[in-house]
Amino acid sequence: MKKSNIRFYQFIMLFLAFGSGTATMAQTADEGLSVAGQSLLKGQRLWLQTGNAAGTAHDNTRNYSRLQVNYDVQSGDFHRVYTGKTVRDANIYTEGFVNLGKAYVWGEFKFTHENVGNARFNASINDPYRGQPYFVVDSGVQSKWRNQNYHLRFRAATPVLFRSWTFGLEGTYKAQLAAKQRDPRVDARFFMLQLMPGVTYSPTYNDVIGVNLRYASVKEESNMELENYQVKPHYFELYGLGTAHRGIGTGRETNYFGNRWGFGLQYEHHMKGWKLLAELTADKYVENNEISFTTPKKDSQLEEKNLGANIQAMLWGRSLTHQVRIGFNRRAVNGIMYLSQNDNTQEKAGWKVLHQDIRSTYKTTDLSAAYTLLRPRDTEYSWRSDLSVAYQKLDDKYLLPLSVKNSENIYLRLNLERNIIVGRSMNRRLLLAVGGMWKDALRGEYRYTGANANLVTVREMEPLDQAYLTADAWGANGAITYSQLLKSQSKVNGFAQLAFDYAHTNAAMFNHRSRVNVTLGVNF
């Protein structure tokens, strides 16, 4: 191995291990970035919002770093059915970008420890909203969960090579551990590794074309168990829209494993004063679900197809900057069930798959548009306003007998921020943010016509989730952030942030959800 290669690997390892600490070395002689400054820098890196790391060279390549600790508390009954009534979350996050000259490297790492209280139903997997419909729930008794999540993402990219080409790679690694604290309890471990190599080509000075591949490998292992074997609780293996197999006792051991293949196409056009970046993405994900490791039984499979289109545009005016984002995403999932039978012949002992067919479908359509108007001031902004509107349609079906669950919602959000210069020295800033949210549920229906309609999954669990999805709501949020240089003539801006979020509904089954979080961190 060449010496230069060894140095490269050493650098990568150091970077991943210590987040962005090394970025300080390459910082220019300024006062660093305030919270608003870093937010502006990241928000205007349009290629960072795409799946193509190779586009890094076409963004602003200023170095930056952040290290923060955060404590977040959510409480209230206005939440989806599997979410805990209280969620206490302590996390540490670090992110950084460094321009090495011959390469650009960006990375982030987050560790979260989460204590969830009064969560109901989910009894088997880390994240019941990740799109996997086949998991196990209990009869709805409230339980605590102790979760730990590790998230690591990096990007490495070249500058422009051979006059027109750039190459890049993004990698993501996630590990999530979740433990339910009440029988039937579970130790669930989720892992995801994703690689996205990409390339861009600039046919003209004003145009960039990009393409990237996406591959992800997903695995989750769920081992249910009982602490008290004298009391055998009921559990329910979900098969979609409340359809369930009832069991009594320990539960099951489930092995989920899947692969995702996809690609993204990007096109950028820029002129003096404006820039437009469009992206088209498509991927297919197949996840298998097997029960037991020793005598595996193919139980179900999900086939997910995603199609997305996003356009981002920026216009830098004389005194104002405009930014527009329009997005479309469509997700279509086929829930496939296997007919497996135990083959007890001597030669082939084990489960034999006889047949599989699509028993349920899940479609999600998202449309969104966002407009940002801000007044830049040096490397930051003095104020900004963000207005966004989003439409979401969920259309889920269990095919035979036909059961449906659907909803349509419109979300409107407005946020205003004012970045006040508190003093001329030490880069002191007070960033004030206020916002509002309005959710209008246009329509929605849950209708179950399958067997065992008296199961708790049909009587209570799905109706409760549907009630949330079809609830009108409004909300308000605010944040106050103070930042300043920690030491004169340095570039290390320390900050403290207190933020709150409140959502209220008049729906009969819910009242509100509130969230408070405190963050301490440094930008450098």
Residues of this chain that interact with another protein (CB under 8 A) are: 5, 8, 158, 167-169, 195, 197, 213, 215, 217, 230, 232, 243, 245-248, 257-259, 261, 284, 286-288, 301, 303, 334, 336, 339, 341-342, 344-346, 354-359, 399-401, 450-452
User: CB of 255 within 8 A of CB of 221?
Assistant: yes
- Angstrom CA distances, 234 to 120, 140, 179, 278, 410, stand at 14, 10, 18, 50, 38
Give the nearer residue to another protein in terms of CB position, either 252 or 384: 252
Judged by DSSP in three states, 82 sits in coil
Distance CA 318, CA 329 (A): 34
Q: Which residues contact 130 (CB under 8 A, 6 or more apart)?
A: none
CA 390 to chain CA centroid, Å, is: 17
Cβ at position 122, least distance to another protein in Å = 20
- Angstrom CA distances, 161 to 54, 200, 275, 401, stand at 11, 10, 22, 58
Backbone angles phi, psi at 212, to 5 degrees: -140, 155
Distance CA 168, CA 200 (A): 9
Degrees to nearest 5, angle at CA 128 with 125 and 130: 110
Give the nearer residue to another protein in terms of CB position, either 162 or 205: 162
Give the nearer residue to another protein in terms of CB position, either 318 or 355: 355
Cβ at position 251, least distance to another protein in Å = 12
Cβ at position 357, least distance to another protein in Å = 4
Cβ at position 309, least distance to another protein in Å = 24
Cβ at position 144, least distance to another protein in Å = 26
Give the nearer residue to another protein in terms of CB position, either 148 or 288: 288
Distance CA 90, CA 72 (A): 6
Number of CB atoms found within 10 A of residue 491's CB:
22
Cβ at position 160, least distance to another protein in Å = 13
Give the nearer residue to another protein in terms of CB position, either 240 or 521: 240
Give the nearer residue to another protein in terms of CB position, either 43 or 51: 51
Cβ at position 129, least distance to another protein in Å = 22
Cβ at position 52, least distance to another protein in Å = 13
Number of CB atoms found within 10 A of residue 481's CB:
22
Give the nearer residue to another protein in terms of CB position, either 167 or 383: 167
User: CB of 395 within 8 A of CB of 333?
Assistant: no
Give the nearer residue to another protein in terms of CB position, either 195 or 320: 195
Amino acid at 327: G
